[in-house]
């Protein structure tokens, strides 16, 4: 009877796999392939053996390949490019109109009301630095998690008084703990109350998605505002700021275009007009003020322009808006379903490879798979994948040092030793993991190539590779021995 049940389960898995392959292949061929250039989809790299093979990009958490229509549109716009808000000529007018209309497209994309400004920045990091600078001028404290990327941690730490709450051992959020902190500060003097809660929309190393709307509801219950860094989330699934009077409303969101198939690194922050109009601009200069009196009295705008100093990266903003139009036409639900199928397929099989340790459970699977191979430095695995298999992944701490310490069980003593080494210029022993991150242009063939490569690396063992690679004693970086 047991054999019959086992056979039945195997048949079900086989049928599911065939359907998965058919659905994924059809979606990619019909919907995804036309959105990218053949040069980008079939880009070839040279392995250390001298062979040219198709590159597999599994480092999409860092940046993504632009949509071909976006690239084409930006190229055409460069022929009519003019200075934004700086001229009466036709080129200036055309560029200004495109630049300003991109704000409306972005506002709709994130479900923002008309009561919010769309502020452009150099990247997400600058957007958060700007927010942190403005919030530092208001009394109160910032509540941050211990799973944040440095871009959503250091700006708050260096500008303001921060309280950091600890997530669970697996990096997931404990809503009870957050409420306890908010409650304990509720009746304190204004300078000790929590004024803002900030958290990532999705972890850069595990893909874990905190319950940002539940956290927003808690923040508002205790008269705090909610800031969500969604640069690792918004390209994978819908982010909705929700109506301003909704208890689960996101007061601020920040993200970047280069992680959502738009060229350039332009960042976006969306937040309340009232907040920005009541704040002196983060940066000041030409373009974001209308007049300076003889006595050097500065007259300011009470519009988005007040927070748009200098000549803006118009092409970066326009590229984001065009990428949004393509994402919306494709359908964010369909994108999420396709990517989830790829990741689930890879996650299930990766965990079956001997000596591979996956650092996330199936409960929290998203668009990222963090893992290690026993006996290997993660940076060596990443180098082997690049040099011998033409596969791009990332290995490192990903600017999430506390989360890495959780995942790798780094003791306080070990942390102190690492810090002492860093003071001497040695970064070799900073804990690392390997991250495979997926995007909509990845295929099941990419997944299979990656799984085959990891299987071979694990089977051959680290000693097989030592004669062919060397590690820098200070940085820990591995390179091929020529």
Q: Cα separation of 176 and 180, whole Å?
A: 6
Task: Give the mean pLDDT of the chain.
Answer: 93
pLDDT average, residue stretch 24-52: 95
- Convert the pLDDT of each residue in 107-130 to its tens digit: 999 999 999 999 999 999 999 999
Query: What is the band of 12 on the pLDDT scale with cuts at 50, 70, 90?
Result: low
Residue 8 has what pLDDT?
55
Q: Cα separation of 83 and 93, whole Å?
A: 8
pLDDT average, residue stretch 442-451: 97
Residue 19 has what pLDDT?
72
Which residue spans of the chain are classified as CATH 3.40.640.10?
Answer: 81-329
Residue 9 has what pLDDT?
47
Residue 6 has what pLDDT?
52
Tell me the whole-structure pTM to 2 decimals.
Answer: 0.93
- Pick the residue with more confidence: 16 or 118? 118
Structural Rg of the chain based on CA atoms: 24
Q: What are phi and psi of 100, to 5 degrees?
A: -65, -40
Q: Cα separation of 347 and 450, whole Å?
A: 11
Residue 11 has what pLDDT?
54
Q: Which option is the CATH number for 15-66+331-397+432-480: 3.40.1620.10, 3.30.70.20, 3.30.2320.80, 3.90.1150.10?
A: 3.90.1150.10
Q: Cα separation of 224 and 195, whole Å?
A: 5
CATH 3.40.640.10 fits 81-329, yes or no: yes
- Convert the pLDDT of each residue in 175-230 to its tens digit: 999 999 999 999 999 999 999 999 999 999 999 999 999 999 999 999 999 999 99
Query: What is the band of 4 on the pLDDT scale with cuts at 50, 70, 90?
Result: low
- Work out the burial of residue 126: count CB atoms within 10 Å of its CB; fewer than 13 is exposed, 13-18 middle, 19 or more buried: buried
Given a contact cutoff of 8 angstroms between Cβ atoms, the answer to whether 251 and 274 are in contact is no
Given a contact cutoff of 8 angstroms between Cβ atoms, the answer to whether 156 and 162 are in contact is yes
- Pick the residue with more confidence: 56 or 8? 56
- Does 16 have pLDDT greater than 70? no
Which residue spans of the chain are classified as CATH 3.90.1150.10?
Answer: 15-66+331-397+432-480
Instruction: Please report, rounded to a whole number, the percentage of residues in the chain having pLDDT higher than 90.
Output: 83
**388 Cβ contact partners less than 8 Å away, ≥ 6 residues apart:** 47, 48, 49, 453
pLDDT average, residue stretch 24-30: 92
pLDDT average, residue stretch 299-303: 91
Residue 285 has what pLDDT?
87
- Pick the residue with more confidence: 311 or 354? 354
């Amino acid at each position: 009877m047991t054999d019959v049940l086992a056979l039945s389960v195997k048949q079900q898995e086989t049928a599911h796999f065939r359907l998965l392959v058919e659905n994924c292949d059809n979606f990619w061929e019909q919907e995804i392939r036309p959105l990218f250039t053949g040069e980008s989809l079939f880009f070839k790299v040279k392995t250390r053996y001298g062979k040219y093979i198709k590159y597999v990009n599994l480092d999409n958490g860092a940046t993504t390949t632009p949509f071909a229509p976006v690239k084409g549109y930006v190229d055409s716009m460069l022929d009519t490019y003019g200075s934004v808000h700086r001229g009466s000529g036709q080129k200036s007018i055309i560029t200004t109109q495109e630049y300003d209309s991109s704000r409306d497209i972005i506002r709709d994309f994130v479900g923002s009301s008309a009561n919010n400004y769309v502020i452009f920045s150099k990247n997400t990091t600058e957007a958060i630095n700007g927010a942190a600078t403005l919030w530092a001028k208001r009394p109160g404290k910032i509540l941050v998690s211990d799973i944040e990327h440095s871009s959503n941690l250091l700006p708050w730490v260096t500008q303001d008084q921060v309280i950091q709450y600890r997530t669970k051992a697996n990096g997931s959020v404990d809503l009870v703990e957050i409420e306890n902190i908010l409650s304990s500060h509720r009746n304190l003097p204004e300078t000790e109350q929590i004024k803002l809660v900030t958290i990532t929309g999705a972890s850069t190393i595990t893909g874990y998605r905190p319950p940002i709307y539940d956290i927003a509801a808690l923040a508002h219950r205790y008269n705090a505002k909610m800031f969500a860094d969604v640069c690792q989330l918004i390209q994978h699934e819908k982010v909705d700021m929700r109506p301003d009077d909704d208890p689960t409303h996101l007061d601020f969101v920040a993200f970047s275009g280069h992680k959502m198939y738009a060229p350039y690194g332009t960042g976006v922050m969306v937040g309340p007009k009232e907040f920005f109009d009541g704040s002196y601009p983060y940066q000041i200069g030409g373009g974001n003020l209308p007049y300076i009196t003889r006595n050097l009295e500065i007259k300011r705008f009470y519009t988005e322009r007040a927070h748009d100093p200098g000549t803006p990266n118009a092409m970066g903003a326009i590229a984001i808006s065009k990428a949004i139009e393509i994402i919306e036409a494709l359908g964010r639900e369909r994108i999420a379903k396709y990517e989830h199928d790829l990741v689930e397929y890879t996650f299930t099989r990766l965990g079956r490879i001997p000596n591979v340790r996956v650092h996330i459970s199936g409960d929290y699977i998203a668009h990222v798979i963090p893992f290690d191979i026993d006996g290997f430095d993660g940076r060596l695995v990443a180098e082997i994948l690049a040099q011998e298999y033409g596969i791009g992944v990332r290995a490192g701490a990903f600017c999430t040092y506390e989360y890495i310490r959780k995942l790798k069980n780094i003791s306080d003593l070990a942390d102190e030793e690492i810090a002492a080494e860093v003071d001497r210029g040695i970064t070799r022993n900073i804990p690392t993991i390997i991250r495979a991150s997926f995007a909509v242009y990845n295929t099941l063939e990419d997944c299979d190539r990656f799984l085959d490569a990891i299987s071979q690396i694990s089977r051959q063992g680290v000693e097989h590779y030592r004669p062919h690679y060397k590690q820098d004693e200070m940085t820990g970086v591995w390179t091929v021995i020529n």
